[in-house]
Amino acid sequence: MSIRYLTARLAQQIDEELMSATGAFSLDQLMELAGLACAQTLAKVYDKERYPRVLVCCGPGNQGGDGLVAARHLGMFGYEPTIWMPKPGSKEIYKRLHTQCTNMKIPTIPPSSTTDSLSLALSSTDVILDAIFGFSFQPPIRPPFDSALAIISKSGVPIVSVDIPSGWDVEGGKIHEGIGLEPDVLVSLTAPKEGVRAFKGRHFLGGRFVTKAMEEKFKLNLPQYNGSDQIVELAQVPAEKL
């Protein structure tokens, strides 16, 4: 059977169950494993010798937290990450993750003059990790992210998106022309979302934290991970199944 694609409601339900008394995971654990999977995906596709400079774009929610974890791991992998987060998350866990990056001497772009500083950073970036919006995103895209997404899209720099490309609808995909990023690589977390069925780039899954019991309960039909890998590449969905 083919892997199951998730609706927004089902993705939220699985997340809640993972962190319930039944699933017994903490948010810290899930972010650490998700961020590690994102870092491994980028490292697999973009070799650090050719693509050393990574701009990690973080939104204010849990997606941004995944990005901060990925930035720390990328630094330990030998890349040169820089963090861009124009609206830092207010949760204590977000602040701790950012402090961990600061302690790794990973620079953060100052929030002032957001678009100007973003444009300058992109001019010296080899690859972008897009961790801005997650599956709970609801349009419209508000400032400063609306202009920022346009700048990122026009930069020509390769993009790796986390879970769903920023600006896409979690179920409808890229439903508004000219809005939303067009990544080269996507790393879905837990299981892919309905909105990325038509994604044409390289598609990876990072969700090795999903238990067998939960996989069976939600009929996820997840692929096997090789050895100690935290990611597995997914085949494109055939056109007749879109």
Indicate the annotated binding residues for (6S)-NADPHX.
62-66, 134-140, 163
Annotated binding site: 62-66, 130, 134-140, 163, 166
CA 179 → CA 128, 131, 140, 153, 167, distances in Å? 17, 16, 10, 9, 6
Identify whether the C-beta of residue 97 lies closer than 8 Å to the C-beta of residue 68: yes
Q: Is 187 exposed, middle or buried (0-12, 13-18, 19+ CB in 10 A)?
A: buried
- Token pair listed for 241: 């199944």
Annotated binding site for K(+): 63, 130, 166
Integer Cα distance of 84 and 56 in angstroms: 6
Per-residue burial over 20-33, b = 16 or more CB atoms within 10 Å of its CB, e = otherwise: eeebebeeeebbbb
Query: At residue 98, what are phi and psi to the nearest 5 degrees?
Result: -70, -40
Q: Is 7 exposed, middle or buried (0-12, 13-18, 19+ CB in 10 A)?
A: middle
For residue 6, which of 218, 224, 201, 242 has the smallest C-alpha distance?
218
The sign of the torsion formed by the CA atoms of 162, 166, 172, 178 equals negative
